[in-house]
Chain A
Amino acid sequence: MKRTIPLLITALGGFVLIASYFIPPAQSWGENVSIWFDILSSIAFVLGGANLLMSHLKSISDRKSGWGYSAVVLVSFLGTLFIGLGKIGVHPSPQFPNMAWTGYYREMGSGFWFIYQYGYTPLTATLFAMLAFYIASAAFRAFRAKNVEAALLLGTAFIVLLGRTFAGVALTSWIDPSKWSGFKYFTGLKIENLTVLIMSVFNTAGNRAIMIGIALGIVAASLKVLIGADRSYLGKD
């Protein structure tokens, strides 16, 4: 029963969604299944929060290495939750000036706004920006023309890197048909045009091939899940 019901729900949901795509009268069934999915994904936030609490509390109680980071996660999580739900620093809505908690929890100057503006935003932006340093270091250490394929990749990378900046335009600006009419046959060799060619022809062709392959794989894997042949998503218990 513990496994049969989830299997039936999966199969029912999947086949209804397939039917709703191909059979117009079944479209509303698909909508209902999608709404169930959205409700479940909302509940997953609560489960995710509970799971986060449990795993980090366990790290702290077991004094695992790096348990201090778990403490930071818990303080941040609970602090943000308390400030957001409690609408700390939020003024009452102009429509209901005498009633507390009627204001907008994200209003400018509120506690939640402060955390987002001065905590979350700079932290995530900084983490992402640090990638530039690691990319530069990795490019120096790993990007070697060890064989023909690597050399081709290297050449392509140079063209795209230059083509995404003004350097690409400046370096091949001498290929100018107004200076010599013969250059009109070579404008495709301008770095910015080569970049477009690489992105729109070679990249598109390669990506399409990969996408079609993945899509066929997904169809096969999904069918196995829907008919119950693959039950690995249910876990071991």
Chain B
Amino acid sequence: MRDFLEQQWWLVVIVLGSLAPLAAQFVSRGFLPTLRTLDRRWIFLLMFWAVLVPIYFVGVTGRTFPEIPGALAKATFNEIEKLHAGDPVLIAFDYDPSSEGELSPMATAFVKQCAEKKLKMYFMALWPVGSQLADATIDDVLKSDFPNLVYGQDYVNLGYKSGNEGVIKVIVTNLRELYTTDSRGTPLQDIPMMHGIQNIQQMKLVIDISAGYPGIKEWVQYAVTPFPETIHLVGGSTGVQAPQLYPYVPRQLPGLLGAIKGAAEYEKLVIDKYGGPHPNPKYLDGLRRMGPQLVAHLLIIFLIVMANILYFADKRRESRS
């Protein structure tokens, strides 16, 4: 840390320089009066630095905080780990680029673990741009690091279908009623790995990466609940959605990754097993993003504490007067 500050002294100067007028206000007008009339743009600036400096720090030093995988991350990892080479796995990309920051690290890690396990991957999406995100992950992971895997034999992108939970309801019993081609328009009968696949009950595992509706909740309600013996589901979700999914853990949802913290824990497990001595930085995105999250959370706590100091000071002054 000290070396970083010494080498990047200019950054320290810019950060402190940008906050100098605020410090001057505190000195000239006093602590509480400044806090009482604090312009929200100062808060925006503090948040800007709270996110930017750790991103820069992680980018320059390559250092990340140590992560201890929790029970849910381990359960998610183990659900995939216990599958055998050649087992079919459905991976649903139910999110859009607005949630990419939280969800793409877990999507990358899911696909890497599945590829390392030599599972047959069937990608699909209930969100309109989910198919593009699946393509991006395929390019990023499968095409670059697993060039021996062949499209149509080892993985296929079935693309997006409209209908939300209606799609799930149909494909649990008859996939071909809705899907006649893959996302590129190739008929399913021309795709070798689709031979014999009639419905998603044949999948050994369903992995859903979800940012809301339709997402994990709908997969639980319309796939796992009617077919608890044949459909097994794990998933990754955004932080705001995760609390609503805990009630389904562990019976209907044995594994759940919540937000970037869940992604970082799961990444750690995947990298420890499959990353080798020098893992590619693209598989460490979750761990790298824990840095900005730490400082941003600390800033929010600091702001709340300051606001409450102001609140109690004002309350005391009112009661005295």
Contacts and interface: CB of A to CB of B under 8 A. Distances in A.
Interface of A: 21, 27, 30-31, 34-35, 37-38, 41-42, 44-45, 104, 106, 116, 120-121, 124-125, 127-129, 132-133, 135-137, 139-141, 143-146, 154, 157-158, 161-162, 164-167, 169, 192, 196, 199-200, 203-204, 207-208, 211
Nearest to A103: B184
Interface of B: 38, 40, 43-44, 46-48, 51, 65-68, 70-71, 96-101, 129, 132, 135, 161-164, 166-167, 169-170, 173-174, 177-178, 184-185, 226, 239, 242-244, 246-247, 249, 258-259, 261, 290, 293-294, 296-301, 303-304, 306-308, 311
Contacts of B304: 139-140, 143, 154, 157-158
A61 B178 CA distance: 41
A166 B261 CA distance: 10
A166 B170 contact: no
7 contacts: A34-B170, A120-B97, A129-B101, A140-B306, A144-B311, A167-B298, A204-B249
A136 B47 contact: yes
A136 B299 contact: yes
A interface: dominant SS: helix
B259 A164 contact: yes
Contacts of B303: 136, 139-140
Contacts, number: 148
Contacts of B242: 199
Given A140-B306, A141-B307, A21 B226 contact: yes
B interface: dominant SS: helix
A31 B199 CA distance: 12
Contact of A204 (B101, B164, B247): B247
A90 B209 CA distance: 30
Contacts of B244: 207
A38 B170 contact: yes
B173 A165 contact: no
A200 B70 CA distance: 12
Nearest to A200: B246
Contacts of A145: 308, 311
B316 to A, nearest CB: 14
A128 B258 CA distance: 17
Given A140-B43, A144-B307, A165-B293, 10 more contacts: A128-B101, A136-B300, A140-B38, A143-B308, A161-B297, A164-B293, A165-B294, A196-B71, A199-B258, A211-B247
Given A116-B132, A165-B293, A132 B163 contact: no
Contact of A31 (B173, B243, B297): B173
Most chain-A CB neighbours within 10 Å: which of B242, B247, B261? B247
A56 to B, nearest CB: 20
Contact of B47 (A27, A44, A132, A166): A132
A164 B261 contact: yes
A128 to B, nearest CB: 4
